[in-house]
Amino acid sequence: MEIGLYGLGRMGANMVRRLVRSGEHRVVAGNRSPGPVEEVVSEGAEGAYSMEEVVEKLSAPRAIWAMVPAGDVTEQTLLKFADMMDEGDILIDGGNSYFRDSIRRAEMLHERGLRFLDAGTSGGIWGLEVGYCLMVGGDADAFEHVEPALKTLAPPDGYLYTGGAGAGHFVKMVHNGVEYAMLQSYAEGFELMQKSQYDLDLHAVSHLWNQGSVVRSWLLELAESAFEKDANLDSIRGYVEDSGEGRWTVLEAINESVPANAIAGSLFARFASRQDDSFAMKVIAALRGEFGGHAIQEASTKYPEQP
């Protein structure tokens, strides 16, 4: 099939490559800066050096997949494409947008006669080789139109039409919330082993757990790789950002009265990772000093070495 893809970051560029390598699709690839376009053109894509050129090079009904950061960038990209497209054309948001924004955008695009798909996309930098897991919501007929591309991008059984507008991004949001909790669980377990009385080889343990254990996973394979490169992770600062999906998952859990304890805890742990000297911990230390006479360390005191 013929498809345009705009936004050639780490995932977008590799998605273009996977589509091109299949030999089954004509891919028009565009990006705000020309460098990434030139790279994928050298590998068989057709380049577009502006959003207008992406639209011009596609025939009706056009299908354009946007892989840009969530938020206002996505909003402006979709609006600009919508101004240039014709009735019946398809816009696909493959970023990590909030599903309620996707519902609103679908309604806005429908008023213009355009079709919309929200495509939750998972796979990261490994997707080029192993494929992308695709969770797709929106117009069913639009899904059927782009299904050949989805089949190429995904591994076997790796894509699913999840329902109406917003459903794809909703499922991806929950997926990322679950990911938060899984990462936190592994992190706590490895810290417990690292601080134990035993001189454990965490690379060997992570490799062992991937051999038939009930906790084996691709994330654990990545842990194995990380410990192989740096046994004690000495080169890494324990600072972890959150990209939004974990917060949205917790908010929806509150809206639906779902006790998402592990996901909420993992989100708050990320907040804690960014505090060099937590004010909350200062309050606890001060109160313990007030009610129990427990020793309080001055702010200038160096933190003791961890065992």
**Active-site annotation, residues:** 172, 179
CA angle 96, 101, 103 (to 5 degrees): 110
The token pair that represents 290 in the structure block: 């007030």
Beta strands in the chain (DSSP E): 2-6, 26-30, 46-48, 63-66, 90-93, 115-122, 133-138, 159-163
Residue type, 256: E
What are the φ and ψ backbone dihedral angles of 130, each rounded to 5 degrees? -100, -10
Q: Which helix (H) or strand (E) holds 292?
A: helix 279-292
Which residue type sits at 131? G
CB of 86 closer than 8 Å to CB of 112: no
For residues 121 and 135, give the distance between their C-alpha atoms in angstroms, rounded to a whole number: 7
* Alpha carbons 220 and 223: distance in angstroms, whole number: 5
What SS3 string covers 104-129? Answer: HHHHHHHHCCCEEEEEEEECHHHHHH
Q: What percent helix, strand, coil does the chain show, rounded to 5?
A: 50, 15, 35
**Structure tokens that stand for 9 in this block:** 């970051």
CA distances from 281 to 177, 288, 293 (A): 26, 11, 16
Q: Exposed e or buried b for every residue in 116-144, given b needs 16+ CB within 10 A?
A: bbbbbbbbeeebbeebbbbbbbbbeebbe
